[in-house]
Amino acid sequence: MILQQLLYLPAYYKNRQEAVNTVMLSNLNIEKKENQLICNCIANRKYQVSIIINGRIQSSSEIMIDCTCESFKYEFAYTVGRDKSLIYPNRYLKTISKDKNKFLHLTGCKHLIKFGSYIFANKIKIERSFNNVIK
Ligand SMILES: [Zn+2]
């Protein structure tokens, strides 16, 4: 999947925008490892949210994702796994189901949407901090 899929909510998820707005992010940590940006944070003091970005921060960049919330596990992990974009596919072997995501839309929970949007909105600042490394 690509970063863009975390940036825009599809029409039938529009009512989730309010939920996304209330997500609180803390403990932000972004590291560069070879050609990847490993991005981690905590959402609402509870959930570990992770996004791995290949290459630069662009809406077309390939990403892999994970969130420890129930919504991600039961609603989104199925389509993300089918796309081979789960960071920890083994976590979901027993729990993933396509039932709750009837549209099979490839996106993340509200925590991932909030974090992805934050990273994209701050891409200049983030990339500048890795200035001489990212090409
Ligand atoms: Zn989540």
Per domain, the residue ranges of the chain are 4-129
Candidate from 17-21, 89-93, 127-131 with smallest mean pLDDT:
127-131
Residue of 56, 55, 32, 28 lying closest to 40 (CA atoms): 28
The alpha carbon of 8 and the centre of ligand 1 are apart by a number of angstroms equal to 16
Candidate from 53-57, 66-70, 74-78, 98-102 with smallest mean pLDDT:
98-102
For 28, the 3-state DSSP assignment is strand
**Has residue 134 got a pLDDT over 50?**
no
Amino acid at 29: N
Is 63:87 a contact under the CB 8 Å cutoff?
A: no
Average pLDDT, the chain: 89
The alpha carbon of 44 and the centre of ligand 1 are apart by a number of angstroms equal to 10
Confidence of residue 118 (pLDDT cuts 50, 70, 90): very high
pLDDT of the residue at 43: 98
Q: Is 34 left (phi over 0), alpha (psi -120 to 50) or beta?
A: left
The alpha carbon of 117 and the centre of ligand 1 are apart by a number of angstroms equal to 14
The alpha carbon of 31 and the centre of ligand 1 are apart by a number of angstroms equal to 21
DSSP state of 13: G
The pTM of this model reads 0.91
